[in-house]
Amino acid sequence: MSEYLLYPGCSMESSAKAYYDSLMKVAEPLGLHLKEIEDWNCCGATEYLGISLTPAYALISRNLALAARQANGTRTVVAPCSACYLNLAKADYYMREQPRLGHMVNEALAAGDLAYEPGSLDVRHLLDVIVYDIGLDIVKEKVVRPLTGLRVAPYLGCMVPRPDFEHRWSDHEHPVELDQLLKALGAEVIDFPLKTHCCGGHMTQIGPDTAFELIRRLVSSADTYHADLMATLCPMCQLNVDAYQGEMNRHFGTSYHMPVVFFTQLIGLALGLEAKELGFGSEMVSARKALAKIGLEAPEPVAAAPAKAHKAEGLPMPPPLTRRARKGSREGEVKS
Amino acid sequence: MLDVNLERVRAGLRTEEDLSLLHEVSASTAGVSRLEMCIQCGTCGGSCPSAADMDHTPRMLFAMLRAGMREFVLRSNTPWICVSCYHCVVRCPQNVHIADVMYSLKGMAIKAKLYQDSTAPDFSRTFVDMVEDYGRSYEFGLATRHYLKHFPLRLPGMTSMAFGMLTKERMTITPKRIKNIRQLKAILKRAKEVETSNEAGGAR
């Protein structure tokens, strides 16, 4: 059993909880021993880098310093989130490429009694570790419920295959690792041409028109190939394509329904685990229909529960004065 | 590039080539930017998924940068539209660290207060403020503060999504904190001091 230091990242505790939960479920059966970096902090995503150089890299490097101190015989940090993976890898690489950056960062880390020697850790993505350390043969051996008949669009997004400082992937634009893994699970994998195209990143927050077009391209392409769902390895991609799919549909007057799940959730299904314990049901675009296709039942989506449906109207409001008034206002809402 | 020449004249450039801006950008970019290696081939703009929304393609921006057109460069929306997809980075024949140069330009535009639209800088600032306070990102606080200020009209259409995120436990109302926030704050405080002296050095 190989041991790795795990850097989960903030999303894994919130919007990408299904990613974390499913990873925890499949780690043991796959023989992945993950040890969380103690008291890790946010990597700054794509925001801090655009404000100030040294603080941004010091923020990232505190995690590397903590990991290096905690490492006991292992030197591999595994990050399941794309942005976290890239930031950690980037800090390590740039501090080697430009020692001056390493000095500045270490000067800052010293204020917290920490230090990091660039190059002392290997930063790797979860998919890389599963495909190249555990190996597809082992994964195949563990499959007890092949995903036969499920058409999956493998979606990696940008920051895992690019810029790829250490040349870990088969290609920057059309890497095959995720395809191979999903095939090992028995799924029918489409040759998804947009597999490393952008989901819009933080543009859903700051420039929605730019983001909606990028989301539309992805969803429309996956739909053209008759994919039942998209499998991703990035919390940001999942959030954008899943949670903003409704707003994108309204923006363009389209009606796409393309579920996006984490690849670890599909590994879990193939290993015979139950959909519910793998975080299915937490997606905004329900994967129920896709799972039903392979004879699996996904948990009821929360929003569909009739008792709670009324609350969907918005923030807590004073109770309506009369029954009629409330009915009238709800009808008005439908029309608008 | 007629208009670019005009901009040069307006910008009041004294010499044919004023490379101080290029050097300044390189100095505030992580790693070795290789910005001076740009051969103006345009592979970057041709690879960019959001070029249509940009004032200038990356190639044009780098030409302006080389020409020392500080204000025009820092006012351009290009770095703010960049989605950090790194398509241009892996295709650039000169291996210019394009995405990282975009990050540097954002930071410089914020410092010079030369951005056109405050939506993106505000978002970054709010995100970073929360990370500096808690050590973790805080999506609920970020989303509410950001949308109320910049996208109040998007809110009605987003309530069911926000509701879903909360009930599916994909978003929590209270922030998570790291244990040793004092250590992180001390590190960031020192980092800001280091950065100030780095900038003073880079602008030489």
Contacts of B124 in chain A (CB under 8 A): 47-48, 50-51
In whole angstroms, give the CA distance from residue A293 to residue A289. 6
Question: Regarding predicted confidence, which is higher, A326 or B182?
Answer: B182
pLDDT confidence bin for A335, thresholds 50/70/90: very low
User: Is residue B46 exposed (0-12), middle (13-18) or buried (19+ Cβ within 10 Å)?
Assistant: middle
Dihedral (CA of A11, A15, A21, A27) sign: negative
The torsion of the CA quartet A198, A199, A204, A205, rounded to 10 degrees, works out to -70
* Residue listed under structure tokens 């080389």: B66
Domains with residue ranges and CATH for chain B: 2-116 (1.10.1060), 119-193 (no CATH)
ipTM comes to 0.90
- Indicate which of A43, A51, A214 best probes the interface with B, i.e. most B CBs within 10 Å of its own CB: A51
How much of chain A exceeds pLDDT 70, in percent? 89
Q: Would you say residue B33 has pLDDT above 80?
A: yes
Lowest mean pLDDT among A92-106, A318-332, B40-54: A318-332
Backbone angles phi, psi at A79, to 5 degrees: -120, 125
Q: Would you say residue B186 has pLDDT above 70?
A: yes
Domains with residue ranges and CATH for chain A: 2-125 (1.20.1050.140), 144-304 (3.40.50.11810)
pLDDT confidence bin for A329, thresholds 50/70/90: very low
For the ranges A298-312, B92-106, B168-182, the one whose mean pLDDT is highest: B92-106
pLDDT confidence bin for B8, thresholds 50/70/90: low
When pLDDT is averaged across residues A317-323 and rounded to a whole number, the result is 51
Of A53, A207, A313, the CB nearest to B195: A53
pLDDT confidence bin for A72, thresholds 50/70/90: confident
In whole angstroms, give the CA distance from residue B16 to residue B27. 22
What tokens appear for A7 in the block? 């850097």
Interface of B with A in 31-90 (CB under 8 A): 31-32, 49-50, 53, 79-81, 83-87, 89-90
pLDDT confidence bin for A325, thresholds 50/70/90: very low
pLDDT at position B36 is 93
pLDDT at position B104 is 97
The predicted model scores a pTM of 0.89
CB contact under 8 A, A50 and B106: yes
CB contact under 8 A, B163 and A311: yes
